[in-house]
């Protein structure tokens, strides 16, 4: 199941609340444009600014709107194991195809603590689980040995790798046969070159067709075509991190008329000078 271009969905807000109408429109947009899977309530979806009721509501809307047309992998992670268990159990209950679970942030558990955290979630929720290793947000990098150990648990089947290291992917795949998905658009091709099966993408929010094409050409063995697409979209991928994700991608979606540019603190609008840089790249790609 975990292969192809999965989009880390942005979350539209309106007057301080989730804009459910726009969110449903985004889901239809991605299904129409060939995105292979949807990931609501991740870092890109601003889950950290939502309460649990809102996260559950978004997950349910995604499942209902998608109606089994493509997989839904809900972001259900937390630095509080009991909260992560509750959200992951809920994702299973409402019909998600999988759960993306970030490694615990802020409290920085040891490898043993990480293992027990994920084991507790996997034991409680009979749903395919994708680990999420993103040291830039969590303050810790999961060791390949920890990931390999976790892969022995039946329903822990994939890892979203956002450590930015090809060697990390090589070490993981040399130790176990877990599915690796890139967690960084700029690293999708390098990661796939050593065995990854796709990406959980930020940039797919605004170029879903091209992101799908990048991954699919590689899976189809059309490596030169894939390399061409990689270089074609590189400037846009980089632009998505001019400031903290999801500020550039959600601002891009707003400039493209897809959502309103509304944030919840501590997230806020981009610096004007950076927004101008972003606009320049979007114009280069004829997106605005």
Q: Which residues are catalytic?
A: 132, 160
Strand partners for 130: 100, 158
Token output for 1: 């199941």
Phi, psi at residue 121, to the nearest 5°? -65, -45
Q: What is the DSSP secondary-structure string of 143-181?
A: -HHHHHHHTTSTTEEEEEE-S--HHHHHHHHHH---EEE
Is 176 buried (19+), middle (13-18) or exposed (0-12) by CB count in 10 A? middle
Query: Which two three-digit tokens encode residue 219?
Result: 């899976």
Pairing status of strand 17-18 against strand 13-14:
antiparallel
Closest CA to 209 of 115, 127, 278, 285: 285
Q: What is the largest CA-CA distance in the chain?
A: 49
The burial class, CB within 10 Å (0-12 / 13-18 / 19+), for 285 is middle
Q: Cα–Cα distance between 24 and 58 in angstroms, integer?
A: 10
């Amino acid at each position: 199941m975990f292969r192809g271009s999965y989009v880390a969905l942005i979350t539209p807000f309106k007057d301080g609340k989730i804009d459910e109408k726009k969110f449903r429109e985004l889901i239809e947009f991605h299904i129409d444009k060939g995105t292979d899977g949807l990931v609501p309530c991740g870092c890109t979806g601003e889950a950290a600014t939502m309460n649990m009721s809102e996260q559950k509501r978004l997950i349910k809307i995604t499942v209902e709107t998608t109606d089994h047309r493509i997989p839904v992998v809900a972001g259900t992670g937390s630095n509080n194991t009991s909260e992560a268990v509750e959200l992951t159990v809920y994702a299973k209950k409402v019909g998600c195809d999988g759960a993306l679970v970030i490694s615990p942030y802020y409290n920085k558990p040891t490898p043993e603590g990480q293992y027990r955290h994920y084991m507790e979630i996997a034991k409680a929720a009979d749903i395919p689980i994708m680990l999420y290793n993103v040291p830039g947000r969590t303050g810790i990098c999961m060791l390949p040995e920890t990931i390999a150990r976790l892969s022995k648990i039946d329903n822990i089947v994939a890892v979203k790798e956002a450590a930015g290291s090809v060697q990390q992917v090589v070490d993981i795949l040399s130790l176990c046969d877990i599915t690796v998905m890139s967690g960084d658009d700029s690293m999708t091709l390098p990661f796939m070159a050593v065995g990854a099966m796709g990406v959980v993408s930020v940039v797919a929010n605004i170029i879903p067709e091209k992101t799908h094409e990048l991954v699919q050409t590689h899976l189809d063995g059309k490596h030169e075509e894939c390399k061409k697409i990689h270089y074609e979209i590189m400037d846009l991928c980089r632009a998505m991190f001019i400031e903290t994700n999801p500020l550039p991608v959600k601002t891009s979606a707003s400039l493209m008329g897809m959502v309103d540019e509304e944030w919840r603190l501590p997230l806020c609008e981009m610096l004007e000078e950076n927004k101008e840089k972003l606009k320049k790249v979007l114009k280069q790609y004829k997106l605005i």
